[in-house]
Amino acid sequence: MAHDYFGGLTGWDFEGFHSGGDTEIWKKFGAHHITVADDEHGSVDGVRFAVWAPNAQAVQVVGPFNWWTGDDLRLIPGSGVWGRFLEGLEEETLYKYRIQGPDGVWREKVDPVAAFSEQAPANASIVYKSRYAWSDDDWMARRSEARPHAEPMSVYEIHLGGWRKGKSYLELADELVEYLTWQGYTHVELMPVSEHPFEPSWGYQVSGYFAPTSRFGKPDDLRHLIDKLHQAGIGVILDWVPGHFPKDEWALGRFDGTALYEHADPRQGEHTDWGTYIFNYGRNEVKSFLVSNALYWIQEFHIDGLRVDAVASMLYLDYSRDEGQWVPNQYGGRENLEAIDFLRYVNRHLYEREPGVLMIAEESTSFPGVTKPVHEGGLGFGFKWNMGWMNDSLRYLQLDPVYRQYDHNLLTFAMVYAFSENFILPISHDEVVHGKGSMLNKVPQDDWRKFATLRAFYSYMWSFPGKQLVFMGSEFAQRPEFDESTSLEWWVSDLWGHGGLQRLFRDLNHIYREHPALYELDNDPEGFTWINADDAGHNALSWVRNDSAGNHVACITNFSAEPLRDYSIGLPAVGTWEEILNTDSLHYDGSGQHGNLGAVEAEAEPWGHFSARARVTVPPLASVWLRRNAQP
């Protein structure tokens, strides 16, 4: 053979992989269509294969190019990596690895670092080389200078297969971009698009960490969708799942016949609730694999942020385990020290490599310092989902208005810890599945009260400290629960109530983005001042949001079925306060009982801790926002 058998790879190329320091493993592992020097022909084209299987007795690559009979790979000296260059292979050819484990059994496996895969239920890996030319230079330049905590962020969470069933990445690049632009969201969050075998897992059980699912097209088609979103000024967040992976025999599990990516001990290596394996975060090669995967999506697909799924399951060794079914750490505690070190590593690395990127933790416990910098002892995330706010506010929402006064603290308690982390307020897919009911059906009583309550709730949410996230379909109050096998019920957005709520979401997003008082100081106590936190008898809450330039937005929400007329509030400045939102407007399918005639006057009369006082009318189950700009 006249050319290099390993396509230019040597054992030295994998030193970083074995030390946990290689953060770009996709450039060496997987299948790469390359040109290599050849003594006879000068150069030849082909595909270089490389796969980590240190305990294997033998490894073959199989595909249509060898009638699925197998070409032998060899161990690259000193690496535990098997490789081979095969000349003449075309791009987009299918392949798998056949691996003989230490037990002598041959197992057929897909490539852990494949860039593309067959569409489920088929699973062969596909040789793929991107030729996409990006057109989002302006967006990427702005991202590198971004200050996410001081900028608006309203996120639309989406399951690509269920938004409009049957749409491809290319079709979504037109339809989704147009819709998000009209609605005014700043970001879209994609539920995992990494290749996965089981559609009802929604992508949370990943079999191809480096391969976008082929259900909607090719990898460059996804790049086109992201590019179009960026050109429209919309950021893209991707759900990332480093906490566990499925047990499918052809995927990562027991990859070379041994527990390679996962812990061998089921007390550390399996989630019995989910039927999945847990990554071995203490293994350097696993660290390299996962941190490279995170960087891969950000660099190769221009993803703007990663929402890390199920962080709590990573942090605690006893997560969802009975006594005696878990192994304490070296100090006898329940914290998973290796996972904590890994999360700190990936967060620190990504923020250093890609300024402006978003790292978001879906973490449901009170673990301290989730969004505290690593150098200060934190986990280093940029944001954390505020699951406490979500649980409390949804409990309140489901109460009949006459009983809400007895649980008023459900809406006020979140301010006790509002500035302890950098929060995102999530109303996600998890809240509208598995018998929990849609948002509309959580609310008691008739349709008028249901829609009015939702309008008040979302305005309360959009004015509360923290960024916002809402799941698709919630913006027009779809009645059924989320079902990935069908499209959203778009037709209802033409109906009374549904269309009004959808129009409100559009206005909420645009008003929010136009007023820095609603977002600039989200993580600073100076950005929020209670007007009245204690009016449980009226089911009312009121506060002022402030920005650094001295502008104010006063937000008053009435969660009772009775109007608040001539309701006395304190305000930080005298003069005219313009009404910029009233959720009872006829435009939103409300009753149109405004009462404030577009503005209220604040008099120089002390009220509580404020220097001015005004009287405002707030319709039943409604919110009113008032604006007072700083004087020039």
- CATH number, domain at 620? 2.60.40.1180
Domain boundary (481, 501, 518) is at 518
Check 22, 118, 157, 362 and give the catalytic one.
Answer: 362
What's the CATH number where 35 sits? 2.60.40.10
Lowest-confidence range among 123-127, 481-485, 557-561?
Answer: 481-485
- Domain total of the chain: 3
Same domain, 220 and 346: yes
Three-state secondary structure string covering 356-410: CCEEEECCCCCCCCCCCCHHHCCCCCCEEECHHHHHHHHHHHCCCHHHHHHHCHH
How far apart, in whole angstroms, are the C-alpha atoms of residue 216 and residue 553? 43
Instruction: Give residue 37's pLDDT.
Output: 83
Six-digit token string for 333: 């505690």
Question: What angle is formed at CA 564 by the lines to CA 560 and CA 569, rounded to 5 degrees?
Answer: 115
pLDDT at 434 over 80: yes
How far apart, in whole angstroms, are the C-alpha atoms of residue 442 and residue 395? 9
Rounded to two decimals, the pTM is: 0.96
Convert the pLDDT of each residue in 287-310 to its tens digit: 999 999 999 999 999 999 999 999
> Which residue(s) pair with 109 in the sheet?
97
Q: Average pLDDT in the 409-431 region? A: 97
Check 227, 256, 309, 363 and give the catalytic one.
Answer: 309
pLDDT at 196 over 80: yes
Which candidate, 564, 559, 619, places its Cα nearest to that of 588?
A: 619
Q: Average pLDDT in the 450-461 region? A: 98
Q: Is 578 among the residues known to form the active site?
A: no
Instruction: Give residue 217's pLDDT.
Output: 98
pLDDT at 1 over 60: no
Same domain, 398 and 485: yes
How far apart, in whole angstroms, are the C-alpha atoms of residue 91 and residue 93? 5
How far apart, in whole angstroms, are the C-alpha atoms of residue 516 and residue 150? 8
pLDDT at 357 over 80: yes
What's the CATH number where 419 sits? 3.20.20.80
Q: Average pLDDT in the 29-55 region? A: 91
116 domain-assigned: no
3 domain-assigned: no
More confident residue, 42 or 95: 95
458 domain-assigned: yes
Which candidate, 116, 88, 323, places its Cα nearest to that of 222?
A: 116
Helices assigned H by DSSP within 8-165: 15-19, 137-144, 160-163
End-to-end CA distance of the chain: 79
114 domain-assigned: no
482 domain-assigned: yes
Q: Which residue has the tokens 């329940």?
A: 334
Confidence of residue 477 (pLDDT cuts 50, 70, 90): very high
Same domain, 508 and 566: no
Which candidate, 15, 76, 23, 87, places its Cα nearest to that of 50?
A: 76
Within its chain, how far is the Cα of 558 from the centroid? 31
Instruction: Give residue 407's pLDDT.
Output: 97
Same domain, 62 and 209: no
Same domain, 409 and 260: yes
Instruction: Give residue 4's pLDDT.
Output: 79
Confidence of residue 173 (pLDDT cuts 50, 70, 90): very high
Instruction: Give residue 632's pLDDT.
Output: 57
Same domain, 301 and 255: yes
Backbone torsion region of residue 194, taken as left when φ is above 0, otherwise alpha when ψ lies between -120 and 50, otherwise beta? beta
Domain boundary (503, 518, 533) is at 518
Read off the amino acid at residue 227: D
How far apart, in whole angstroms, are the C-alpha atoms of residue 246 and residue 98? 19
Same domain, 514 and 560: no
Range of the domain at 50: 11-109
62 domain-assigned: yes
Same domain, 224 and 275: yes
How far apart, in whole angstroms, are the C-alpha atoms of residue 119 and residue 204? 17
Same domain, 492 and 529: no
Six-digit token string for 576: 């005219």
Same domain, 77 and 164: no
Q: At what angle do helices 447-463 and 498-514 cross, to 10 degrees?
A: 10
Q: Let me know how long the chain is.
A: 632
- CA separation (Å) from 247 to 244, 263, 279, 315, 318? 10, 13, 12, 21, 21
Instruction: Give residue 2's pLDDT.
Output: 54
Q: Is 354 among the residues known to form the active site?
A: no
pLDDT mean across residues, the chain: 96
Within its chain, how far is the Cα of 238 from the centroid? 5
Same domain, 458 and 487: yes
133 domain-assigned: no
Q: What percent of the chain has pLDDT over 70?
A: 99
